[in-house]
Amino acid sequence: MRIVLKTSKLASWSRRLGSIAFPVLAFSVFMHRSGSIDSETFHLIVFLGLATAFLAIIFALISFIILWFSGDKGWGRGVTGLILGGLCVAPLLFALVQFQKYPIARDVSTNPETQIELLSPLSSITNVEQANQQELTSAFPNMVVRYYPLSAEISYDLVKRQITQNGWEIIGERPIIGNDTGQINAIIMTLFGWRDEIAVQIEENAQGTTIKMRSASLIADSDLGSNGKRIERFLLGMDNAITKYARDNLMLEQPPVPHERTSQ
């Protein structure tokens, strides 16, 4: 008697759904980053793509149970659907971890009492309670105003250089003229195409320069910690840049060591 092995329909559907969800989500990210679709359309496509990916994962898991007992074919198709669905869902799981790890905020600053001006409008916030400054300071201990023993003009140039090296798009500059406060605003595109704005203020003081910074998500109600981490990384980068500049120029300003004369 010949036993005919069937191919699991659930496994086949899992592969089909995963093969739909993955390219749809990947292409939507590309279109969002390029500006071909707005954020609302992107959110809708992401929701539909994730729903499809979850179905692919569920179908794959159910098919594995059935195949284990029936001995039919379809393991490969189920595994393919599970992998494709998992790749689609992975960013969502990462976002949930970040949501639990960091306080809810979308606009953070080193000095919230005197906010630096942004050039882009912030979207209206839903009824999401934002974290207070104490919670933000606890989560991002390096997000503090910096004081450097260099002139404001030099610090301004170093700030602009680091913004450029980060690949951020400068949308506004107020150079330092006399005793005026300098400021640079730039737009950051996130991995999935959302736009954030940063503003860095450079002000001369009696000992050198004061640098303040603000970073805000223009769309999201919660930044998943990205703005606080961005300010910390930028200011730590400025610490290194200022230290390197001071070290290199101090070495250049040192007089050469005279050579000892040798008796003839």
Fold assignment, 107-252: TATA-Binding Protein (3.30.310)
**Distance in angstroms (rounded) separating the CA atoms of residues 243 and 256:** 22
CA dihedral 251, 252, 254, 256 (to 10 degrees): 110
pLDDT at position 44: 96
Low-confidence stretches of the chain (pLDDT < 50) are: 1, 251-264
pLDDT at position 256: 42
pLDDT at position 254: 44
* 76 burial type by CB count under 10 A (0-12 exposed, 13-18 middle, 19+ buried): exposed
CA 198 to chain centre: 12
Decide: pTM greater than 0.75. yes
pLDDT at position 23: 97
Picking from 98, 131, 97, 99, the residue whose alpha carbon sits closest to that of residue 112 is 131
